[in-house]
Amino acid sequence: MQTLTIHSYQADSEYESLDFRAQNLRGAEFENCTFRQCNFEGFEFGDAKFIDCTFESCNLSNSKLRQTGFQRCSFLYVKMIGVDFSLVKTFSLSLKFFKCQLDFCGFRNLNLSNTPFLSCSMKECSFSECDLSKSKFENSDLQGSLFSNCKLQQADFRASVNLGLEPEFNQLKGAQFKLEQLPGLLEKYQLKIE
């Protein structure tokens, strides 16, 4: 992978097969940019800002997102293991995930309403005090993921797998589930459902 020099404002640019780990993106702003097969593993994004950007087949595992802004950003086939999204700037936060590996990620005190998590691996994720209303978890694996004090009204879990959450600790009015997901909603009661 190559490295490059980043200026404070980048627009309508494409970055492919680049290693960003040696870069300093503090204060940098990217608008309508695409990042393909780039390496951000363990990278500290600082207060960089991404608007209408797409990340495809990149590695952002264990990256640090303190005060990083994401407005209308899409992540496609991205590996993001162990990322703490709770540290991002919350102003105009808007994310889309498709076929991403989001295992062991943390989401706390975030407005993620209407967020699509489509065909993602989301094992052992922690969602705490998040607004996930109207979000979709289509074909996503939620094995071991925790939902605590979340707004899940009208969220769609029907096509998710390995769902386990405690209804009394979340707001679920209008949330959608399949009948076979019932054991995951009642797991803590150790009921036998046939």
State the pLDDT at residue 126.
97
Residues belonging to the chain: 194
Burial of 175 (0-12, 13-18, 19+ CB in 10 A): buried
Q: What is the pLDDT of residue 1?
A: 44
Torsion angles phi and psi, residue 55, rounded to 5: -110, 120
CA–CA separation, 67 and 90 (whole Å): 8
Per-residue pLDDT of the chain (194 residues; tens, 9 = 90+): 444 556 688 999 999 999 998 888 888 999 999 999 999 999 999 899 999 999 999 999 999 999 999 999 999 999 999 999 999 999 999 999 999 999 999 999 999 999 999 999 999 999 999 999 999 999 999 999 999 999 999 999 999 999 989 899 999 999 999 988 877 787 776 666 66
Domains of the chain, each with CATH number or no CATH = 102-194 (2.160.20.80)
- The answer to whether 134 and 114 have CB atoms below 8 angstroms apart is yes
Chain-centre distance of CA 7, in angstroms? Answer: 27
Encoded tokens for 24: 């300093």
What per-residue confidence (pLDDT) applies to 128? Answer: 97
From the list 117, 67, 120, the residue with the least C-alpha distance to 93 is: 67
